[in-house]
Amino acid sequence: MKKHLSIPIGIKTLENTSLKELSTFKIGGNVRFLFLPEKISQFIELIDYFDENHIQFMLFGRASNILFADEMSTSYAVSTLSLRKSAVHSNIVDVQAGYPLRNFCYLCAQENLSGVQGLSGIPGTIGGAIYMNAGAYGFSISDRLIDVSVYDFKKKKITTYEKDSCHLAYRRSRFMDHTQIILSARFQLEFANKETVLNDMKEYDIERSKKQPLDFPSAGSVFKKPTSDFHPASEIDKLGLKGFCVGEACISSKHAGFIVNKGHATAKDVKMLIEIIKEKIAQNTGVHLETEIEFFE
């Protein structure tokens, strides 16, 4: 395969890999080839190869906000999980796209830096968090962001965007146009006592465990808030849908904004459940919900 396709040499490649095992939802079929570049140069070379040869591919990190199809039609996948270098210079932290967000929060704490501790329970990567402008408990990934380096595979160049040029909004960024791929980002934190920051993180973890169904696989909050005062979880709860299931995909009885996998849920189950929720919400409120979860096929 490598000789026929001339895939760049040295990139770790797995064949016939289960995406189910790579997803926080624990749902998904197999992908024919999974590439895990360990260097930015390898990553760019691989992306260029796919683009120049008109090969469709999927790109993901922790797959914590993704529902993979039960049978994948896309044969090639690229994971950023091996792109996880970091550097700390005073209160400036530089991290690559595949760096786990939780690890980033702990890295900051260990360096006596504060400002991201509320994000420690989000199970994604730096790249994924910036891509969707992730946030929790009053913290947003954009709060401490300085700039983002991306690779524009149509222009064949690396560009660095200052925070104000990233078009960051609620669960949105300029990088959702899928021509610019996040490589790394820099953050400016505040100096603080390590133990205080770690204690804050512990408190957020306790709060999260009380409210969120962390005992079952999920992809986090399913729906975006259409307005600041419309809370999908509350509206779903009002409809009495907590605990409602399609197959083994269920609306969490703990938090109605989550769909959980009770064991052997399929992507088909989840999609059907999402459509039922959207239809009932539209009938009762006139609001048409959009998903935070992205669907990869």
Catalytic residue among 140, 221, 235, 252: 221
Catalytic residue among 64, 142, 186, 292: 292
pLDDT by residue, tens only, the chain of 297 residues:
444 567 777 899 999 999 999 999 999 999 999 999 999 999 999 999 999 999 999 999 999 999 999 999 999 999 999 999 999 999 999 999 999 999 999 999 999 999 999 999 999 999 999 999 999 888 899 999 999 999 999 899 999 999 999 999 999 999 998 789 999 999 999 999 999 999 999 999 999 999 999 999 999 999 999 999 999 999 999 999 999 999 999 999 999 999 999 999 999 999 999 999 999 999 999 999 999 999 999
Catalytic residue among 32, 171, 174, 208: 171
Q: What is the pLDDT of residue 3?
A: 41
Can you give the three-state secondary structure of the chain, one letter per residue?
CHHHHCCCCCCEEEEEEECHHHCCCCCCCEEEEEEECCCHHHHHHHHHHHHHCCCCEEEECCCCCEEECCCCCCCEEEECCCCCCEEEECCEEEEECCCEHHHHHHHHHHCCEECCHHHCCCCCEHHHHHHCCCEECCEECCCCEEEEEEEECCCCEEEEEEHHHCCCECCECHHHHCCEEEEEEEEECEECCHHHHHHHHHHHHHHHHHHCCCCCCEEEECECCCCCCCCHHHHHHHCCCCCCEECCEEECCCCCCEEEECCCCCHHHHHHHHHHHHHHHHHHHCCCCCECCEEEC
Q: What is the pLDDT of residue 234?
A: 97
Per the annotation, the verdict on 208 as an active-site residue is no
Q: What is the pLDDT of residue 8?
A: 75
Domains and CATH numbers, the chain: 2-79 (3.30.43.10), 86-196 (3.30.465.10), 213-296 (3.90.78.10)
Q: What is the pLDDT of residue 5?
A: 62
Per the annotation, the verdict on 114 as an active-site residue is no
Q: What is the pLDDT of residue 7?
A: 77
Q: What is the pLDDT of residue 270?
A: 98
Q: What is the pLDDT of residue 294?
A: 96
Per the annotation, the verdict on 171 as an active-site residue is yes
Q: What is the pLDDT of residue 1?
A: 40
- pTM (predicted TM-score): 0.93
